Amino acid sequence: MMSLQTKLKQIGTELAKLTPNCVHYYRHPSALPFLIWQESGEGTSFHSGNHKTEQVITGTVDVFTKTEFDPLLDDVQDALEALGVAWSLNSVQYEDDTNLIHYEWYFEVANDGEV
């Protein structure tokens, strides 16, 4: 079974290639657009013989931008696709308090994917 650390590091490495404003867990202080990614827990994993045989990790990727049709949006989806993880665009919203467009993708990664 692929280690949790390996799964997460590979996702972080690929997302960091998209923008220098990519962070794990916390909001980037000033530069736009910025990308935040984080793992959020365990999905439906598999067990056999009283052992975990496949661990599924869930997480989110958030992009904050002021640019309508920002090219970073397609880059995120292309990166998730290239990683071989399951993903979906979970929400898109305009945040009145920050005047930013916020995109959120949900992902799941298992040890049998390309990651």
- Protein fold of 4-109: STM4215-like (3.30.2000)
Tell me: the pLDDT tens digits for 25-65? Answer: 987 667 899 999 999 998 888 788 988 888 889 999 999 99
Strands (DSSP E) found in the chain: 22-24, 34-42, 46-48, 51-54, 57-65, 86-95, 100-109
Residue spans of the domains in the chain: they are 4-109
Q: Please tell me the predicted confidence (pLDDT) of residue 113.
A: 46
Tell me: the pLDDT tens digits for 87-112? Answer: 999 999 999 999 999 999 999 998 65
* pLDDT of residue 1 exceeding 60: yes
- Torsion region of 79: left, alpha or beta (phi above 0 gives left; psi -120 to 50 gives alpha): alpha
Nearest residue to 85 via CA among 63, 60, 49: 60
State the pLDDT confidence band at 6, using cuts at 50, 70 and 90: confident
